[in-house]
Amino acid sequence: MLSEYRVLIVDDHPLQCVHLADQLMAAGFAQTDVASSAETALAKTARQAYDLALIDLNMAGMDGVQFIDRLARQPRPPRLAIVSACVKRIIDSVAMMAKEKGLTVLGAFSKPFTSHHAAQLASLLGRSAQDPPEPPRVGRQTGPALDRASIEDALHRGHLQAWFQPKQSLVTGRIVGAEALARWLHPAFGCLSPATFLAALREHGLDKALLRQILKDALKAHLHWRQMGLQVPVSVNLPTQYLDDPDLPDELEKIVMTNGVPASEITFELLEDETPAVQGQYHMGASRLRLKGFGLAQDDFGRGYSSMYSLISTPFTELKIDRAFVSGAVNDESQAAALVSSVQLGRQLGMQVTAEGVETAHDLAFLRHIGCDCAQGYFISPAVAPDRFSQLLASKHLATNPLQR
Protein backbone atom coordinates (compact mmCIF):
# COMPACT_ATOMS: atom_id res chain seq x y z
CA MET A 1 0.00 0.00 0.00
CA LEU A 2 1.33 3.45 -0.97
CA SER A 3 0.05 4.87 2.29
CA GLU A 4 2.68 2.83 4.14
CA TYR A 5 5.66 4.34 2.31
CA ARG A 6 7.56 7.21 3.93
CA VAL A 7 8.67 9.88 1.45
CA LEU A 8 11.17 12.70 2.06
CA ILE A 9 11.02 15.85 -0.10
CA VAL A 10 14.36 17.70 -0.30
CA ASP A 11 13.94 21.18 -1.80
CA ASP A 12 14.85 24.65 -0.54
CA HIS A 13 11.81 26.32 -2.12
CA PRO A 14 8.73 26.21 0.18
CA LEU A 15 6.15 26.44 -2.63
CA GLN A 16 7.83 23.57 -4.49
CA CYS A 17 7.67 21.45 -1.35
CA VAL A 18 3.93 22.10 -1.04
CA HIS A 19 3.37 21.31 -4.73
CA LEU A 20 5.35 18.06 -4.55
CA ALA A 21 3.53 16.96 -1.41
CA ASP A 22 0.14 17.66 -3.03
CA GLN A 23 0.99 15.64 -6.14
CA LEU A 24 2.26 12.72 -4.05
CA MET A 25 -0.81 12.75 -1.83
CA ALA A 26 -3.08 12.73 -4.89
CA ALA A 27 -1.20 9.66 -6.14
CA GLY A 28 -1.85 7.83 -2.87
CA PHE A 29 1.19 8.62 -0.73
CA ALA A 30 0.12 9.52 2.80
CA GLN A 31 3.40 9.96 4.72
CA THR A 32 5.51 12.83 3.40
CA ASP A 33 8.22 14.75 5.21
CA VAL A 34 10.06 17.89 4.10
CA ALA A 35 13.69 19.00 4.40
CA SER A 36 14.45 22.55 3.28
CA SER A 37 18.18 21.86 2.93
CA ALA A 38 20.45 18.95 2.09
CA GLU A 39 22.03 19.18 5.54
CA THR A 40 18.64 18.79 7.22
CA ALA A 41 17.80 15.90 4.90
CA LEU A 42 21.00 14.04 5.83
CA ALA A 43 20.15 14.39 9.51
CA LYS A 44 16.63 13.09 8.90
CA THR A 45 17.76 10.07 6.85
CA ALA A 46 20.32 9.21 9.51
CA ARG A 47 17.56 9.05 12.17
CA GLN A 48 14.62 7.75 10.15
CA ALA A 49 14.29 5.16 7.37
CA TYR A 50 12.58 6.55 4.27
CA ASP A 51 11.35 4.53 1.31
CA LEU A 52 11.79 7.34 -1.21
CA ALA A 53 13.48 10.74 -1.39
CA LEU A 54 12.59 13.41 -3.98
CA ILE A 55 15.65 15.60 -4.47
CA ASP A 56 16.17 19.01 -6.06
CA LEU A 57 19.67 19.67 -7.43
CA ASN A 58 20.19 23.42 -7.37
CA MET A 59 19.97 24.21 -3.64
CA ALA A 60 21.76 26.77 -1.48
CA GLY A 61 24.59 25.44 0.65
CA MET A 62 25.08 21.75 -0.08
CA ASP A 63 23.65 21.08 -3.55
CA GLY A 64 21.76 17.98 -4.60
CA VAL A 65 24.79 16.33 -6.18
CA GLN A 66 26.80 16.64 -2.95
CA PHE A 67 23.79 15.40 -1.00
CA ILE A 68 23.50 12.27 -3.13
CA ASP A 69 27.22 11.60 -2.68
CA ARG A 70 26.82 11.83 1.10
CA LEU A 71 23.59 9.84 1.09
CA ALA A 72 25.29 6.93 -0.68
CA ARG A 73 27.54 6.47 2.36
CA GLN A 74 24.65 5.87 4.72
CA PRO A 75 23.91 2.23 5.63
CA ARG A 76 20.29 2.18 4.39
CA PRO A 77 19.67 5.06 1.96
CA PRO A 78 16.21 5.57 0.46
CA ARG A 79 15.34 5.10 -3.21
CA LEU A 80 15.69 8.34 -5.12
CA ALA A 81 13.78 10.47 -7.58
CA ILE A 82 15.49 13.58 -8.93
CA VAL A 83 13.16 16.53 -9.55
CA SER A 84 14.92 19.60 -10.89
CA ALA A 85 14.65 22.67 -13.14
CA CYS A 86 18.16 21.99 -14.51
CA VAL A 87 18.55 20.96 -18.14
CA LYS A 88 17.67 17.32 -18.73
CA ARG A 89 21.20 16.19 -19.52
CA ILE A 90 22.42 17.44 -16.13
CA ILE A 91 19.56 15.62 -14.41
CA ASP A 92 20.35 12.42 -16.30
CA SER A 93 24.06 12.73 -15.51
CA VAL A 94 23.35 13.04 -11.80
CA ALA A 95 20.98 10.07 -11.97
CA MET A 96 23.76 8.02 -13.55
CA MET A 97 26.15 9.12 -10.81
CA ALA A 98 23.68 8.00 -8.15
CA LYS A 99 23.29 4.58 -9.79
CA GLU A 100 27.06 4.17 -10.03
CA LYS A 101 27.28 4.85 -6.30
CA GLY A 102 24.90 1.97 -5.64
CA LEU A 103 21.69 3.95 -5.10
CA THR A 104 18.33 2.97 -6.59
CA VAL A 105 17.00 5.75 -8.84
CA LEU A 106 13.31 5.44 -9.66
CA GLY A 107 13.05 8.52 -11.82
CA ALA A 108 14.72 11.70 -13.10
CA PHE A 109 12.12 14.41 -13.79
CA SER A 110 12.21 17.97 -15.06
CA LYS A 111 10.05 20.47 -13.19
CA PRO A 112 7.16 21.03 -13.04
CA PHE A 113 6.47 17.73 -11.28
CA THR A 114 3.09 16.47 -12.48
CA SER A 115 0.45 13.97 -11.43
CA HIS A 116 1.74 11.70 -14.21
CA HIS A 117 5.22 11.76 -12.65
CA ALA A 118 3.74 10.94 -9.25
CA ALA A 119 1.82 8.00 -10.71
CA GLN A 120 5.03 6.74 -12.36
CA LEU A 121 6.83 6.85 -9.03
CA ALA A 122 3.99 5.02 -7.31
CA SER A 123 4.20 2.20 -9.84
CA LEU A 124 8.01 2.00 -9.79
CA LEU A 125 8.21 2.12 -6.01
CA GLY A 126 5.75 -0.74 -5.67
CA ARG A 127 7.78 -2.84 -8.12
CA SER A 128 11.12 -1.91 -6.50
CA ALA A 129 9.86 -2.88 -3.06
CA GLN A 130 9.46 -6.47 -4.32
CA ASP A 131 13.13 -6.73 -5.36
CA PRO A 132 15.44 -8.88 -3.23
CA PRO A 133 17.49 -6.96 -0.66
CA GLU A 134 20.93 -5.75 -1.67
CA PRO A 135 23.99 -7.54 -0.30
CA PRO A 136 25.43 -6.13 2.93
CA ARG A 137 27.47 -2.97 2.41
CA VAL A 138 31.22 -3.13 2.80
CA GLY A 139 32.38 -2.41 6.32
CA ARG A 140 29.30 -3.68 8.13
CA GLN A 141 29.82 -6.81 10.21
CA THR A 142 26.93 -8.65 8.63
CA GLY A 143 28.68 -10.56 5.83
CA PRO A 144 30.66 -13.76 5.43
CA ALA A 145 34.33 -14.19 6.20
CA LEU A 146 36.29 -13.45 3.03
CA ASP A 147 39.66 -14.95 3.92
CA ARG A 148 41.26 -17.39 1.49
CA ALA A 149 40.42 -20.48 3.53
CA SER A 150 36.71 -19.62 3.72
CA ILE A 151 36.46 -19.00 -0.02
CA GLU A 152 38.37 -22.19 -0.85
CA ASP A 153 36.02 -24.11 1.43
CA ALA A 154 32.98 -22.58 -0.33
CA LEU A 155 34.40 -23.63 -3.71
CA HIS A 156 35.15 -27.12 -2.46
CA ARG A 157 31.68 -27.60 -0.98
CA GLY A 158 29.92 -26.25 -4.07
CA HIS A 159 28.49 -23.26 -2.21
CA LEU A 160 29.90 -21.00 -4.96
CA GLN A 161 27.85 -22.02 -7.95
CA ALA A 162 26.17 -20.89 -11.16
CA TRP A 163 22.63 -19.55 -11.31
CA PHE A 164 21.08 -18.80 -14.67
CA GLN A 165 19.31 -15.79 -16.15
CA PRO A 166 17.22 -16.51 -19.27
CA LYS A 167 17.79 -14.70 -22.53
CA GLN A 168 14.46 -14.20 -24.28
CA SER A 169 13.91 -13.85 -28.02
CA LEU A 170 12.03 -10.65 -28.85
CA VAL A 171 10.65 -12.34 -31.96
CA THR A 172 9.21 -15.56 -30.50
CA GLY A 173 9.10 -14.80 -26.76
CA ARG A 174 10.95 -18.06 -26.06
CA ILE A 175 14.11 -18.67 -24.03
CA VAL A 176 17.00 -18.90 -26.47
CA GLY A 177 19.90 -18.93 -24.02
CA ALA A 178 21.08 -18.68 -20.43
CA GLU A 179 23.74 -16.56 -18.79
CA ALA A 180 25.60 -18.28 -15.95
CA LEU A 181 26.07 -15.92 -13.00
CA ALA A 182 28.00 -16.67 -9.82
CA ARG A 183 26.15 -16.94 -6.52
CA TRP A 184 27.41 -17.90 -3.06
CA LEU A 185 24.83 -19.96 -1.20
CA HIS A 186 26.14 -19.20 2.27
CA PRO A 187 24.75 -21.32 5.13
CA ALA A 188 24.45 -18.27 7.40
CA PHE A 189 23.92 -15.32 5.05
CA GLY A 190 21.84 -16.86 2.26
CA CYS A 191 22.28 -16.15 -1.45
CA LEU A 192 25.07 -13.63 -2.04
CA SER A 193 25.78 -11.81 -5.30
CA PRO A 194 29.31 -11.30 -6.73
CA ALA A 195 29.35 -7.74 -5.36
CA THR A 196 29.87 -9.33 -1.94
CA PHE A 197 32.76 -11.65 -2.71
CA LEU A 198 34.32 -11.11 -6.15
CA ALA A 199 36.93 -8.55 -5.04
CA ALA A 200 38.11 -10.92 -2.30
CA LEU A 201 38.35 -13.81 -4.77
CA ARG A 202 40.57 -11.73 -7.00
CA GLU A 203 42.70 -10.57 -4.08
CA HIS A 204 43.34 -14.21 -3.08
CA GLY A 205 43.98 -15.33 -6.66
CA LEU A 206 40.92 -17.60 -6.72
CA ASP A 207 39.00 -15.89 -9.51
CA LYS A 208 40.12 -18.38 -12.17
CA ALA A 209 39.04 -21.22 -9.88
CA LEU A 210 35.60 -19.59 -9.81
CA LEU A 211 35.59 -19.35 -13.63
CA ARG A 212 36.28 -23.09 -13.89
CA GLN A 213 33.54 -23.86 -11.36
CA ILE A 214 30.95 -21.69 -13.12
CA LEU A 215 31.86 -23.20 -16.50
CA LYS A 216 31.52 -26.76 -15.15
CA ASP A 217 28.16 -25.89 -13.56
CA ALA A 218 27.01 -24.40 -16.87
CA LEU A 219 28.02 -27.53 -18.77
CA LYS A 220 26.24 -29.77 -16.26
CA ALA A 221 23.06 -27.68 -16.59
CA HIS A 222 23.30 -27.68 -20.39
CA LEU A 223 23.48 -31.47 -20.46
CA HIS A 224 20.48 -31.71 -18.13
CA TRP A 225 18.41 -29.43 -20.36
CA ARG A 226 19.51 -31.45 -23.37
CA GLN A 227 18.14 -34.57 -21.66
CA MET A 228 14.84 -32.68 -21.42
CA GLY A 229 14.95 -32.39 -25.22
CA LEU A 230 15.89 -28.73 -25.20
CA GLN A 231 18.89 -26.94 -26.66
CA VAL A 232 19.90 -23.99 -24.49
CA PRO A 233 23.20 -22.25 -25.33
CA VAL A 234 24.97 -20.92 -22.23
CA SER A 235 27.18 -17.86 -21.79
CA VAL A 236 29.87 -17.44 -19.14
CA ASN A 237 31.57 -14.19 -18.11
CA LEU A 238 35.28 -14.00 -18.94
CA PRO A 239 37.36 -10.99 -17.76
CA THR A 240 39.56 -9.77 -20.60
CA GLN A 241 42.71 -9.93 -18.45
CA TYR A 242 42.47 -13.71 -18.43
CA LEU A 243 43.30 -13.70 -22.13
CA ASP A 244 46.81 -12.60 -21.19
CA ASP A 245 47.28 -16.30 -20.38
CA PRO A 246 48.13 -17.96 -23.73
CA ASP A 247 47.08 -21.39 -22.44
CA LEU A 248 43.58 -20.36 -21.37
CA PRO A 249 41.76 -21.16 -24.67
CA ASP A 250 43.19 -24.69 -24.61
CA GLU A 251 42.22 -25.16 -20.95
CA LEU A 252 38.65 -24.00 -21.56
CA GLU A 253 38.34 -26.22 -24.63
CA LYS A 254 39.52 -29.24 -22.63
CA ILE A 255 36.93 -28.62 -19.88
CA VAL A 256 34.11 -28.30 -22.43
CA MET A 257 35.16 -31.32 -24.50
CA THR A 258 35.59 -33.49 -21.38
CA ASN A 259 31.94 -32.75 -20.49
CA GLY A 260 30.70 -33.67 -23.96
CA VAL A 261 29.28 -30.28 -24.93
CA PRO A 262 29.94 -28.75 -28.39
CA ALA A 263 31.97 -25.54 -28.21
CA SER A 264 29.29 -23.84 -30.33
CA GLU A 265 26.89 -24.10 -27.37
CA ILE A 266 29.13 -21.96 -25.14
CA THR A 267 29.66 -18.21 -25.45
CA PHE A 268 32.23 -16.33 -23.41
CA GLU A 269 31.17 -12.79 -22.50
CA LEU A 270 34.17 -10.46 -22.45
CA LEU A 271 33.72 -7.79 -19.81
CA GLU A 272 34.27 -4.44 -21.45
CA ASP A 273 35.07 -2.46 -18.31
CA GLU A 274 38.33 -4.34 -17.75
CA THR A 275 41.36 -3.31 -19.80
CA PRO A 276 43.58 -6.12 -21.12
CA ALA A 277 47.15 -5.86 -19.88
CA VAL A 278 48.63 -6.91 -23.23
CA GLN A 279 46.53 -5.88 -26.23
CA GLY A 280 48.17 -8.32 -28.68
CA GLN A 281 47.68 -11.20 -26.27
CA TYR A 282 44.01 -10.24 -25.90
CA HIS A 283 43.39 -10.48 -29.64
CA MET A 284 45.33 -13.75 -29.79
CA GLY A 285 43.20 -15.29 -27.05
CA ALA A 286 39.91 -14.00 -28.49
CA SER A 287 40.75 -15.26 -31.97
CA ARG A 288 41.76 -18.70 -30.68
CA LEU A 289 38.49 -19.05 -28.74
CA ARG A 290 36.56 -18.34 -31.94
CA LEU A 291 38.72 -20.78 -33.91
CA LYS A 292 37.79 -23.47 -31.40
CA GLY A 293 34.11 -22.81 -32.11
CA PHE A 294 33.13 -20.79 -29.02
CA GLY A 295 30.90 -17.76 -29.32
CA LEU A 296 32.19 -14.40 -28.09
CA ALA A 297 29.98 -11.62 -26.74
CA GLN A 298 30.94 -8.02 -26.04
CA ASP A 299 29.38 -7.52 -22.62
CA ASP A 300 28.26 -4.19 -21.12
CA PHE A 301 28.69 -2.43 -24.45
CA GLY A 302 28.80 1.35 -24.16
CA ARG A 303 30.43 1.83 -20.78
CA GLY A 304 33.87 0.27 -20.87
CA TYR A 305 37.34 0.60 -22.31
CA SER A 306 37.71 1.58 -25.99
CA SER A 307 34.24 0.31 -26.92
CA MET A 308 34.24 0.92 -30.66
CA TYR A 309 37.81 -0.25 -31.26
CA SER A 310 37.20 -3.44 -29.30
CA LEU A 311 33.96 -4.08 -31.19
CA ILE A 312 35.43 -3.84 -34.67
CA SER A 313 38.76 -5.55 -33.89
CA THR A 314 37.48 -8.62 -32.02
CA PRO A 315 35.58 -11.50 -33.71
CA PHE A 316 32.44 -11.11 -31.62
CA THR A 317 29.30 -13.07 -32.40
CA GLU A 318 27.04 -11.13 -30.01
CA LEU A 319 26.67 -7.58 -28.73
CA LYS A 320 25.20 -7.14 -25.25
CA ILE A 321 24.08 -3.57 -24.58
CA ASP A 322 24.65 -2.29 -21.05
CA ARG A 323 21.62 -1.81 -18.83
CA ALA A 324 22.43 1.90 -18.47
CA PHE A 325 21.19 2.43 -22.05
CA VAL A 326 18.19 0.11 -21.77
CA SER A 327 16.23 0.76 -18.59
CA GLY A 328 13.92 3.75 -19.11
CA ALA A 329 15.11 4.54 -22.64
CA VAL A 330 11.52 4.83 -23.84
CA ASN A 331 11.19 7.99 -21.71
CA ASP A 332 14.59 9.54 -22.50
CA GLU A 333 15.43 10.86 -25.98
CA SER A 334 19.22 10.82 -25.52
CA GLN A 335 19.23 7.35 -24.02
CA ALA A 336 16.88 6.08 -26.73
CA ALA A 337 19.11 7.50 -29.47
CA ALA A 338 22.16 5.72 -28.02
CA LEU A 339 20.20 2.48 -27.69
CA VAL A 340 18.86 2.59 -31.28
CA SER A 341 22.35 3.33 -32.63
CA SER A 342 23.85 0.42 -30.67
CA VAL A 343 21.22 -2.01 -31.98
CA GLN A 344 21.75 -0.84 -35.56
CA LEU A 345 25.53 -1.08 -35.20
CA GLY A 346 25.40 -4.62 -33.87
CA ARG A 347 23.08 -5.78 -36.63
CA GLN A 348 25.21 -4.10 -39.34
CA LEU A 349 28.24 -5.97 -37.99
CA GLY A 350 26.36 -9.27 -38.24
CA MET A 351 26.03 -9.88 -34.51
CA GLN A 352 23.11 -11.03 -32.42
CA VAL A 353 22.08 -8.03 -30.28
CA THR A 354 20.94 -8.57 -26.70
CA ALA A 355 19.75 -5.82 -24.35
CA GLU A 356 20.48 -6.24 -20.64
CA GLY A 357 18.68 -4.70 -17.67
CA VAL A 358 15.08 -4.86 -18.94
CA GLU A 359 12.94 -3.73 -16.00
CA THR A 360 9.50 -2.93 -17.42
CA ALA A 361 7.05 -3.96 -20.12
CA HIS A 362 7.72 -0.58 -21.75
CA ASP A 363 11.44 -1.41 -21.99
CA LEU A 364 10.62 -4.73 -23.62
CA ALA A 365 8.15 -3.23 -26.10
CA PHE A 366 10.58 -0.49 -27.11
CA LEU A 367 13.38 -3.00 -27.71
CA ARG A 368 11.06 -5.08 -29.88
CA HIS A 369 10.05 -1.95 -31.80
CA ILE A 370 13.65 -0.96 -32.65
CA GLY A 371 14.58 -4.45 -33.86
CA CYS A 372 16.66 -5.78 -30.96
CA ASP A 373 17.04 -9.57 -31.12
CA CYS A 374 17.01 -10.66 -27.46
CA ALA A 375 16.60 -9.31 -23.96
CA GLN A 376 17.54 -10.10 -20.38
CA GLY A 377 16.51 -8.47 -17.14
CA TYR A 378 14.58 -8.70 -13.94
CA PHE A 379 11.27 -8.06 -15.73
CA ILE A 380 11.77 -11.29 -17.69
CA SER A 381 13.43 -13.20 -14.84
CA PRO A 382 16.27 -12.68 -12.38
CA ALA A 383 19.05 -15.24 -12.21
CA VAL A 384 17.60 -18.41 -10.70
CA ALA A 385 18.86 -21.76 -9.44
CA PRO A 386 19.27 -24.54 -12.05
CA ASP A 387 16.14 -26.42 -10.98
CA ARG A 388 14.04 -23.25 -11.20
CA PHE A 389 15.48 -22.50 -14.63
CA SER A 390 14.42 -25.99 -15.76
CA GLN A 391 10.89 -25.13 -14.62
CA LEU A 392 11.00 -21.95 -16.72
CA LEU A 393 12.06 -23.98 -19.73
CA ALA A 394 9.20 -26.40 -19.20
CA SER A 395 6.61 -23.62 -18.85
CA LYS A 396 4.55 -22.65 -21.88
CA HIS A 397 5.16 -18.91 -21.76
CA LEU A 398 8.98 -19.21 -21.77
CA ALA A 399 9.83 -22.42 -23.60
CA THR A 400 12.87 -22.75 -25.79
CA ASN A 401 12.81 -24.27 -29.26
CA PRO A 402 12.98 -28.08 -29.13
CA LEU A 403 16.00 -29.86 -30.50
CA GLN A 404 16.01 -30.64 -34.19
CA ARG A 405 15.58 -34.38 -34.54
Same domain? For 39 and 80 the reply is yes
Contact 198, 207 (CB under 8 A): yes
CATH number, position 20: 3.40.50.2300
Same domain? For 50 and 87 the reply is yes
Out of 100, 128, 156, a domain closes at: 128
Backbone dihedral angles phi then psi of residue 140, each to the nearest 5 degrees:
-90, 140
Contact 9, 17 (CB under 8 A): yes
Contact 119, 27 (CB under 8 A): yes
Asked whether residue 373 is domain-assigned, the answer is yes
pLDDT in 10s for each residue of the chain, 405 residues? 677 899 999 999 999 999 999 999 999 998 999 999 999 999 999 999 999 999 999 999 999 999 999 999 998 899 999 999 998 889 988 998 898 888 999 989 999 999 999 998 888 887 665 544 444 444 444 568 888 999 999 999 999 999 999 999 999 999 999 999 999 999 988 899 888 899 899 999 999 999 999 999 999 999 999 999 999 999 999 998 898 899 999 999 999 999 999 999 999 999 765 555 566 788 899 999 999 999 999 998 877 655 688 888 889 999 999 988 998 888 888 889 999 999 999 999 999 999 999 988 999 999 999 999 999 999 999 999 999 999 999 884 454 444 443
Contact 282, 240 (CB under 8 A): yes
Asked whether residue 358 is domain-assigned, the answer is yes
Asked whether residue 352 is domain-assigned, the answer is yes
pTM for this entry: 0.73
Same domain? For 45 and 94 the reply is yes
Buried b (16+ CB within 10 A) or exposed e, 55-71: bbbebeebbbbebbebb
Same domain? For 25 and 158 the reply is no
Q: Which domain holds residue 84?
A: 2-128
Asked whether residue 135 is domain-assigned, the answer is no
Write out the DSSP string of 31-85.
EEEEESSHHHHHHHHHHS--SEEEE-SS-SSS-HHHHHHHHTTSSSPPEEEEEES
Three-class DSSP category at 270? strand
Asked whether residue 143 is domain-assigned, the answer is no
CATH number, position 377: 3.20.20.450
Same domain? For 40 and 158 the reply is no
What pLDDT, in 10s, does the model give residues 356-365?
999 889 999 9
